[in-house]
Structure 1
Amino acid sequence: MSSDSSSGRPSTVMAHTPCSVRRFRGCTIGRGAVAPTAPTYNPAMADEQRMSGPVTAVPRGRVFRRSADPSPPVAVRAEGSTIWDGSGRAYLDGAGGALVVNVGHGRRSIAEAMAEQAGRIAYAHGTAFTTEPLETYAAAIGPHLPVDDPAIYPVSGGSEATETALKLARAYHLARGETERLIVISRWGSYHGNTLGALDVSGRRPLRRPYEGWLGRFRHVSAAYPYRAGEPHANALGEADELATELERTIEAAEPDTVAAFVAEPIVGATLGGTVTGRRSPTSAGGSGCSSSRTR
């Protein structure tokens, strides 16, 4: 900072400091900050570049961008699998956003149902009230769950669902007086969310890497991934019996009375390219092992 000789007031010096937003290495994004040129995009290093790639321009407006593009297109409407921006250009939304628009955009029946409910009551705290739509939804989805007499706990998204499941597992063991059950086991290559507990139980290394100092409470076993089974650093097995045996050994090594839960995906999503576990899944093969180790 320097002084304006004519007024005596300090004048602003534009800082030209290379800064990586993703790494947050003591670098503040401020007016005049200039970032280095972005590296060439390498598909094989896509995850690493998303986590550590430099910002190519100072973001405009007050929105913290989720990508390095300082001026993303403005989505103004959508229908089916198509999104249009403000200039009229159409985009094929092949993944339904983050796989959350699987029924397509612009479904009038859904919009009308949302508007009707919001017009009657938009929110009532669950500690004091229930609502007819919630009870109807829970009754409809219950028979499809692989649980006897299930009870549905509504949340707002996947990360919150994982965090809630972890807390419910802990609460269950505390209610039984088993206070030492703290260990949660999951699979490498899995994705269960981005909040800290969900990230710790997830097994996608590029997402975990920047926060490793905050993680490490949970344990991981091999991914159920026949395509990469046996490859160096893949942490993958292909046979259900192998996966079940590894899980059982991990439980025994941790001491069964300290294990709170095992978290796994019946179908692995984007992290492993939509891997299906097959007709005989590792969870079914490992069911008796989990039961004998008293982890339920």
Structure 2
Amino acid sequence: MKYGYIGLGLMGGGLARNLIRAGKDVTVFDLNPEAIKKTLAVGTTGKAAQGAAELAGCDVVFTSLPLPKHIEGTMLGEEGLLSKMKAGATYIDVSTIDPKTARKLAEAAESKGIGFLACPLGKGPAQAEKAEQPIFAGGKKEVYEKMLDTLKIVGNPVYYLGGAEQAYAFKLISNMIGMTNLAVLAEGLRIGEKAGIEPKQLQELLADTGANSFQLQVRGPWILNNDFGNRFGVSLALKDVRLGCDMADDWGYDARFTKLAKKFYEIAEAQGFANEDCNAVYKVL
């Protein structure tokens, strides 16, 4: 089976390397030559493409791209890759996009006789590199079952949520909660500083109360050490929160808490922290 992988960033690169480590025939493409070089360095079964169109003959194509417009520009339309792929192939997207874009992708793939799976991811680059990345899959059950062994190569555990729209909706909801929680955590840490509580002790004590959270456990120590290195950047966090709020609006629900948190990520981006980790929201609170 021949695999294609488009998008070798912090998340996609790790998944593509897992395929190569497993000895799979993988053709990769990214606009960044260094990302390609890093990915091909892990094994001998990978090769580079000069453009996305070169992946048209693959049996399975993955995409991991930043924004819905990047996915649409790469995959849809007369020049999009879906128009060039062979019937019976499978397209798997692991990006974080919105349910409306999911419908477009699913419909375009189905019209060409191509299977489609939405497979957004649950954690960060470190888990992606070790094939310990939770995968939330959505699409037709027969396509999911056909691709399950492949998905288990790039990440684990793998969950099936039903339709592609449900998979993307879940990921957006997860990030809405996570990023809002992070903003509240940053605010709490600032108030603790005002109260004169030693910051390390503050975090240790919070972890033993109802204030404990993934963000406290993971990003709390980074904040404590002034570590704002980009694992999941402010700009990407803001993109996901915006998509989530728009999704909720489409369904007639006003995501008030998330919209409030979104304002602080917007401030962080405007103040030049776009390419720092999303924990940089601490700097603007």
TM-score w.r.t. structure 2 length?
0.25
Structure with greater helix percent: 2
